[in-house]
Amino acid sequence: MSKGIEPAFPDPKGEPAPEARAQWAVCERSGAWAIALRREAAPLDLHLYETRSLADGWAVLEQSPASFLVAELTLANADALLARMAGLERQFPRARVAVVAERSLAEYEWLLREAGAVWFATSPRELKPMIALVQRHMQLTPLPARDLTQQVWDSLPWRPTV
């Protein structure tokens, strides 16, 4: 997997946590969209994970099924992205996917929206509404159940280093 993805496998059998915390991740080759997303989300307390392939992006969804994924559309991955998005509602009903692409791929917008994309952007200037969607999604996604020890640690005025 790519940088920034912490596994959500609390039990030794390797089973994913049933209610893993929602993540915000971008899945792209270059890192340019991640830079633009971080710039737009700078005032907010949102952590953006980066992956470099659709497989890694969907691995984020497998670990945290209520995540918000930003997927880059390219000519090379168009069929694969559409195939994955076609099963998104069935496989990850609480997840949301936004799509970013070069301007030359703008004709795919309505096809991807029909497949379930909540936002489609072809320019970094179109990201502000997406950031609002991410923020709202994270606010509305319930936190995973925590035991008493975790609740106490979370309520402390300092953040212990892990």
CATH of the domain at 67: 3.40.50.2300
For residue 17, pLDDT over 70 is answered with no
Q: What pLDDT does 137 receive?
A: 94
Closest CA to 54 of 94, 99, 89, 90: 99
Q: What pLDDT does 112 receive?
A: 96
- Residue 110 inside a domain? The answer is yes
Structural contact between residues 22 and 138, judged by C-beta atoms closer than 8 angstroms? yes
Structural contact between residues 130 and 101, judged by C-beta atoms closer than 8 angstroms? no
Task: Report if pTM > 0.85.
Answer: no
Q: Tokens representing 54? A: 């659709």
- Residue 126 inside a domain? The answer is yes
Domain that holds residue 108: 24-155
- Residue 83 inside a domain? The answer is yes
Q: What pLDDT does 159 receive?
A: 59
For residue 142, pLDDT over 80 is answered with no
- Residue 93 inside a domain? The answer is yes
Q: What pLDDT does 160 receive?
A: 57
- Residue 6 inside a domain? The answer is no
- Residue 160 inside a domain? The answer is no
Q: How many angstroms separate the CA atoms of 17 and 21, rounded?
A: 9
- Residue 2 inside a domain? The answer is no
For residue 4, pLDDT over 60 is answered with no
For residue 151, pLDDT over 80 is answered with no
SS (H, E, C) 55-115: HHHHHHHHHCCCCEEEEEECCCCHHHHHHHHHCHHHHCCCCEEEEEECHHHHHHHHHHHHH
Domain count, the chain: 1
- Residue 67 inside a domain? The answer is yes
